[in-house]
Amino acid sequence: MSAAVVALLLGGAGIAITASPAQAAEATFKVKCVPPAGGGDPVEGETTAKVTAPATAKVGDEVDVVWETVKPASNNTDLMDIPKDAVQPTGWITVGGGQAGELKVVGEKKNPPIPKKAPMVMSAMKGKLKLTKAGKVTLTPGKYDVAVTFSFGTFVTKCAPVGEVKGGATIDVSAGSSGGATNGGATNGGATNGGATSGGATNGGATNGGADGGTTAGGGGQTDFPGKPVEVAFDCGPVVPGGIKTPVTINAKKNGGSYDLTVKTAKGAMAAPMALPAGALKPSMNVKLGGADSGTVKVAGPANADPIPDKAPVSLSDMTGTYKPGKSGKVTLSPDQLTIDVTMAPGATPINVPCKAASSGVSLELDTAAQPGGSGSSTSTTGSTTSGGLAETGAEDEGGIKALALVAGTVILLGGAVFTFTPWRRLRGTR
């Protein structure tokens, strides 16, 4: 992301104005695409992007910019067919010349069914650019994300240019009387996305955060603040060799001065190696606060309500909690430690499997107002970090033994990452 930005995406704050017919220009460049965990190795290819914008405009105008993928960089993998209306692209256009910055453009989730190994099909990505300085403004396509949604979760492939990108559209901007040149609003090259800071969501910024900076949720009358999925690497120590990697999404709904949080992991589909009873798996997570506020907010999900048959899919439930702001300002929310409580028999002491977020990212940013007794303040946090309890389980506790067998032997898919606990065959043989 670029440093300071004067290019704005204004959500619902004006009407797009174009002073001349739109003109399009193509750019062909090489990219490297990194699929999500479990999606295969990175690939390099060549893509052609067509950028459409008005040929001329004046300072203060807000213009429409469109990025169409004429030639995709790669085909669908040979793993599975992509269903209809499952692909949503998000791109970042470098703004140069008369003004500098980065413009975020978002496409609709609209595509025909894409068979294995067939060329990827992506909708046109659109955004609005506020022109703040006179001169020639260049629009050059850059990195982009491709989110594909299946019945068991959403997975994001990140693509970035390899080398310099040449080509793109140019707008000849003349001086105007509008005072929009000094109106900031974006702090990280589109990651906080100008318009979203004023409560707008029409340009896709509030529903699809930047690749690095999360989603900014503004004020106004907005009550629902969806976050963006971020890839999180969890370190579970020797219990889970290699750890866990999964997309995690933090969503918020305003409730008075507080926010009801819902945290989702990608739903997995993996055959369970044994039948699991109802109530066997109960997840919880610490949401880390940053920016104006600090501390953590704990969210927890219910245990599985129904038994999970042998070889049936295993998923974690959605986790919920409440964030009551302790400080006013922009507050970031990031996934932190994940804990899975494993209980294999009624009344048995749960086994706590703690998984520290070795790497994470911002899923959501809220523009908050401090509340009395705010739970997220630096002097008071909601929830506590749960430490492991494997060593505390006595051998006389049959439920604990079974739970330990699960921890030692169960194969769980959490957001596309499969992790296996080694002694399963031996433990299952003695069960």
Mean pLDDT (whole number) for 70-81: 87
Please give the Cα distance from 427 to 410 (Å, whole number).
10
State pLDDT tens for residues 94-133.
999 878 889 999 999 999 999 999 999 999 999 999 999 8
pLDDT-derived band at 380 (thresholds 50, 70, 90) equals: very low
Half-sphere exposure of 171 (CA within 13 A, CB side): 34
State pLDDT tens for residues 287-327.
999 999 999 999 999 998 888 887 777 778 899 999 999 99
pLDDT-derived band at 273 (thresholds 50, 70, 90) equals: low
Mean pLDDT (whole number) for 64-70: 95
Q: What is the mean pLDDT of the chain?
A: 74
- pLDDT given for residue 90 in this prediction: 95
Q: In Å, how far from its chain's centre is CA 226?
A: 10
Question: Which backbone phi and psi does 408 adopt, to 5 degrees?
Answer: -80, -25
β-strand pairing of 216-217 with 364-368: parallel
pLDDT-derived band at 417 (thresholds 50, 70, 90) equals: very low
User: Is the model's pTM score more than 0.85?
Assistant: no
- pLDDT given for residue 176 in this prediction: 65
- pLDDT given for residue 241 in this prediction: 65
More confident residue, 261 or 428: 261
Mean pLDDT (whole number) for 34-44: 79
- pLDDT given for residue 52 in this prediction: 95
- Kindly list the structural domains of the chain, giving each domain's residue range(s) and its CATH number in brackets, ordered by start: 22-189 (2.60.40), 223-430 (no CATH)
More confident residue, 324 or 414: 324
- pLDDT given for residue 268 in this prediction: 61
pLDDT-derived band at 39 (thresholds 50, 70, 90) equals: low
Mean pLDDT (whole number) for 386-405: 33
- pLDDT given for residue 299 in this prediction: 96
List Cβ neighbours of 256 (8 Å cut-off, separation of 6 or more): none
List Cβ neighbours of 43 (8 Å cut-off, separation of 6 or more): 32, 33, 35, 73, 74
- 73, 77, 166, 191 from 49: Cα distances, Å: 10, 21, 11, 22
Question: Which backbone phi and psi does 181 adopt, to 5 degrees?
Answer: -65, -25
- pLDDT given for residue 311 in this prediction: 74
- pLDDT given for residue 376 in this prediction: 54
State pLDDT tens for residues 356-369.
999 999 999 999 99
State pLDDT tens for residues 197-240.
333 333 333 333 333 444 454 445 678 999 999 988 888 777 66
